[in-house]
Amino acid sequence: MTVSYRQPGLVLTDRHFTVPLDHDDPAGESIELYAREVVASERAGQNLPWLVYLQGGPGFGAQRFVGKQAWLGRALKEYRVLLLDQRGTGHSAPANRQTLPLRGGPAEQADYLTHFRADSIVRDCETIRTEITGGTPWTVLGQSFGGFCTVNYLSTAPEGLSTALITGGLPSLDAHADDVYRAAYPRVERKVAAHYARYPQDVERARQIADHLLTHEVVLPNGYRLTAEAFQSLGILLGGTDGSHRLHYLLEHAFVRTPLGTTLSDAFQEALQGHLSYAGHPLYALVHEAIYGQDARPTGWSAERVRAEFPQFDAAKALAGDGPLLFTGETIHPWMFDCDPALRPLRETAELLAARTDWQPLYDPARLAANEVPVAAAVYHDDMYVDTAHALRTARTIRGLRTWVTDEFEHDGVRASGDRVLDRLLALTRDEV
């Protein structure tokens, strides 16, 4: 059933679609997808071009806007927007510890999750595009992992695109996960250094918290085992526009005095739960390294293995000396499936995915070199999540792609900038700048 409703200045419509689980077997099992159509109230009856938004991740449903937030207001000036919950996220066949056992055991779950990468998401888009637009090409806006999906779109189905817009999401076309993380750890170290330069008082605070966790067993109210490594993973915040400030405010009231001595405060522990738990996006943890799998080499817990090449990230070694504790970034580790109650039942499934040797290529350099779709990409200088050198190398591969390299914004620039990033990308594709 299609349901429409209103927010100030907007008309929203819930859309539901049925697509094959495996697009190579269209007569086989199907799954349900959900998307939210959004149009400006004053243009609701008009025949407008479509823009489909591909959220970052993997594993996150499309952003739930209230009114014309972030880039949405700019898009609605000329488009009807489709906010797609990519398969496995939001209301689109959610994949989590509660639903995956319906598939069977870990082996069946891992096989199922091989269909939740960029290639399947793009084929979903092409399936529903014919239903929505009647076959007319549409514009795609891909943020972060959504940009990875957009490059796959340009590689496999460019005929479905009128324009491609990418923000913080130009992937390496051939890098193994090990290459991705070898480039990532030094970037994260720079972000941590910048944070401590801004908030020097956090150096000692972070050391005190890590020391407490190395000498005490701490279990958060939701059952999450808080270790020093888990605490370090809060560094993922540092890739966002306000992430350094959020981390600082999180650390400033970590401890409280009690009759039994000083311990981590309830408020601090409550806040940590929201940052560390994968209950709302477990697919992110399950397939994160798989998005880099493109050949017979297993990803093999790449972030964990590569971390050993950077001993400065070892909490115990840092505390044994007088250096600062380093936070980590966008990395997934085996211990997360022990610490997080939302992930514990999926540990064996994750192990099987990490060991797979049958990943297929996601990008076609030859087809990208012959691209005819107008495409523009925002590349954020020293982006913590996506390596700038990798992004620019890919940009040179895609024929006609125009880049906007900027240090004005972090990875979340399309959200933090209001309409500025989207407006600039549209102008680039139209040769207006």
Catalytic residues: 144, 358, 411
Beta strands at 80-85 and 138-143: parallel, antiparallel or unpaired:
unpaired
Q: Return the ∠ at Cα 286 (arms to 284 and 288), rounded to 5°.
A: 55
Tokens of 396: 């040179």
Look at residue 113 and give its three-state secondary structure: helix
Q: Helices 266-276 and 243-251 sit at what angle, rounded to 10 degrees?
A: 150
Token pair in block for residue 135:
């076959």
What whole-number distance in Å separates Cα of residue 112 and Cα of residue 99?
12
Structure tokens at 202: 């956090």
CA distances from 374 to 77, 101, 429 (A): 20, 43, 5
Distances (CA, A) of 289 to 130, 156, 283, 327, 353: 31, 21, 11, 20, 9
Tokens read off for 260: 């039994």
Cα dihedral 27, 28, 29, 30 sign: negative
Residue 245 has a CB neighbour count (10 Å cut-off) of 14
